[in-house]
Structure 1
Amino acid sequence: MSNEPNASNLWQISIVKPLVDLQQIEPVFEDFCLTSSLIEHVPDGSLWRLELLFNGEPEDFVLSLIPKDFEFQLIKLENKDWVSESQKQLPPVSAGRFYIHGSHDPCHASPSVYDLTIDAGRAFGTGLHETTYGCLRAIDDVSKYKHPKNVLDLGCGSGVLALAAAKCWHQRILASDIDLDAVIVTNENAKRNRLSPYIRSVHATGLNDRLLKRAAPYDLLIANILAWPLVKLAPDIAESMSNDGIVILSGLLSKQEIMVRNAYRQQGLHLKKRYTYGVWQTLVLSFQ
């Protein structure tokens, strides 16, 4: 399915369920849809609506990702700029000193706030999801006691975490992703936020890329991906870290925390702080 929006062939899946149910399935569609939005469906907040926007009719495989007991609506949309409309439904987010908003919202007025403009689009990470939010809070807290010199955002998505690190420390940040679209979007967002001089974004799988190996050791590594890839990458991540390095991990559900922590404990990395938002965890680890 092409990622270039075609206003005459846009389709939408709508699912109405409690928020916790929708938060668990929303990331499953990140590689297939143009945008996703969570909208309060009833005033008391007991039901929310997940809207997934697609460029073309979703394939049967995509529909099969919806749990069998979830009712959903699939409709073809009228010809209008639904990507822009969907983005307008995403409110700004404050995470510590970070303020994340779309281009349709004004910048924050306070110079002490780290303002970032990130539009929802074809790469994951707008600041709205609990995993991104947790990482932003962790970066903000780490910045209060550490000034890392060599930072890697592994699995950068939209680049929001790499940009946040650049805002904190005003130095070069390395960002990588297995998805070439994510690399392109990260560069676009760096330019939009006037952070291009600080961001180097590369297309790479895991830590096997020659450039990523050459840039190690890292004293801060951020990986907001998924639990099983985090487990598989544990030896490579530990090997790439400096002795006083800090690792920020996210993309794992609460029920997956012990599995992930055990994988990193075997590499000598121990939990220093945990952030819990909804059913998602963000972990801060170090050797010390």
Structure 2
Amino acid sequence: MIWVWSKLSAVKWMDAWEERFYGNQNAVITLLKGGANLRIEVYNESEEEAETLRDYWGGSVRKIVKEDWVAKSAVVKPPLKIRNELVVTMEGDGPALEKLREEYGDRHVISVPPEMAFGTGDHPTTATCLRLLVDEARQRRGTSWDFLDLGSGSGLLAIAARHLGAERIAAMDYDETAVGVARRNCERNGLSLEDGRAVMEVGDIFEWEPAGRFEVAVANVFSDVLIAAMPRMVPWVKPQGVLIVSGILNEQWPAVREAGEREGLVFAEPLPRGKWTTARGVRVG
């Protein structure tokens, strides 16, 4: 059996829901008759996973006959190449992955197969975060730096940070399923969670506390969460450290920028990609 979490929402929130579940092969968003509302459904392999979504977002859970939803819908897209440093592929273990590693032997090849977690790399918010992360890593070559990933999804950014030289990594997501996927992806890509230098934890950004502060942090979450959590997030960044924020619809950027500036961030020019904005803020306060 599998369990379906579902929720009705106003159509004005469609972009936000699409961003949250982008890359999740078990998520379906349906525009309802009349065009004013939509239904979000996520298919889960356990009742506990579905109830976690219900506890966080509301909605309802029902049980249905099991089918292999991931296998039915998963499509492996071409690899994503980031600044001559990273290649992100949806290929899992097998000849296709080995061929990519041979072809791009001078780059870090990261394997993130489509599963029930946001972050396979091809969404504009994730791809732009990766580009900014590469830029930050280049500036810090030869130095010791730490990385914090808030709303880690599949764990892609944390894995990339380790390949790019981060000494210590902390990552969290409210979704227990996503954290499980992230831990599998870490193992798949050679990022050990046994030596204490990297942690992947389930947590609520309004309650969770990381161990220490960080030179580089990324928060790729809903804009309303960014705005409300800014007083908590900014102190987790060291002075002169960087907080990259994403998951922001273009029209929501001014409110996010204002919230960050109140807490002592100075933002560079934002990077719009389609309807999404990503921005890099330096903590000066």
Verify same fold: TM over 0.5. yes
Residue 71 of structure 2 is matched in structure 1 by: 84
1:270 pairs, out of 252, 261, 266, with: 266
Instruction: Give the CA deviation at 1:92.
Output: 1.9
Distance 2:43 2:216 in 1: 36
Answer with 119-128 or 163-172: which moved more.
Answer: 163-172
Indicate conservation of the 8 Å contact 2:264/2:283, yes or no.
yes
Indicate conservation of the 8 Å contact 2:21/2:27, yes or no.
no
1:100 pairs, out of 78, 88, 97, with: 88
Distance 1:231 1:163 in 2: 26
Distance 2:16 2:174 in 1: 22
Residue 246 of structure 2 is matched in structure 1 by: 250
Indicate conservation of the 8 Å contact 1:26/1:36, yes or no.
no
Counterpart check, 1:119 vs 2:107: no
Residue 182 of structure 2 is matched in structure 1 by: 186
Alignment of 1:47-66 (within 5 A): 54=43
Instruction: Give the CA deviation at 1:33.
Output: 6.1
Residue 60 of structure 2 is matched in structure 1 by: none
Indicate conservation of the 8 Å contact 2:145/2:166, yes or no.
no
Residue 134 of structure 1 is matched in structure 2 by: 128
Q: Structure 1: any 5+ residue segments left out of the alignment?
A: 5-20, 38-51, 57-61, 63-78
Residue 154 of structure 1 is matched in structure 2 by: 150
The residue identity in structure 2 corresponding to 1:155 is G
| DSSP 3-state at the match of 1:124 | coil
Instruction: Give the CA deviation at 1:255.
Output: 0.6
| DSSP 3-state at the match of 2:171 | strand
Instruction: Give the CA deviation at 1:80.
Output: 7.6
Distance 1:111 1:29 in 2: 32
Q: Structure 2: any 5+ residue segments left out of the alignment?
A: 5-12, 30-40, 46-53, 55-65
2:215 pairs, out of 216, 219, 226, with: 219
Indicate conservation of the 8 Å contact 1:219/1:242, yes or no.
yes
1:173 pairs, out of 169, 175, 183, with: 169
Indicate conservation of the 8 Å contact 2:26/2:69, yes or no.
no
Residue 202 of structure 2 is matched in structure 1 by: 203
Instruction: Give the CA deviation at 1:235.
Output: 0.7
Distance 1:87 1:246 in 2: 35
Indicate conservation of the 8 Å contact 1:35/1:121, yes or no.
no
| DSSP 3-state at the match of 1:239 | helix
Counterpart check, 1:27 vs 2:23: no
Residue 9 of structure 1 is matched in structure 2 by: none
The residue identity in structure 2 corresponding to 1:142 is E
Indicate conservation of the 8 Å contact 2:25/2:70, yes or no.
no
Which TM-score applies when normalising by structure 1? 0.72
**Structure 1 runs (4+) greater than 3 angstroms displaced:** 1-4, 21-25, 28-33, 52-56, 79-82
| DSSP 3-state at the match of 1:144 | helix
Which TM-score applies when normalising by structure 2? 0.73
Instruction: Give the CA deviation at 1:176.
Output: 0.6
Q: Per the alignment, do residues 100 and 219 of structure 1 end up closer, same or farther by CA in structure 2, a change over 3 Å counting? A: same
The residue identity in structure 2 corresponding to 1:98 is L
Indicate conservation of the 8 Å contact 1:176/1:204, yes or no.
yes
Number of residue-to-residue matches in the alignment:
240
Distance 1:84 1:90 in 2: 14
Residue 34 of structure 2 is matched in structure 1 by: none
Q: Per the alignment, do residues 258 and 196 of structure 1 end up closer, same or farther by CA in structure 2, a change over 3 Å counting? A: same
1:234 pairs, out of 230, 247, 259, with: 230
Residue 14 of structure 1 is matched in structure 2 by: none
Distance 1:3 1:138 in 2: 37
The residue identity in structure 1 corresponding to 2:156 is V
Instruction: Give the CA deviation at 1:82.
Output: 4.9
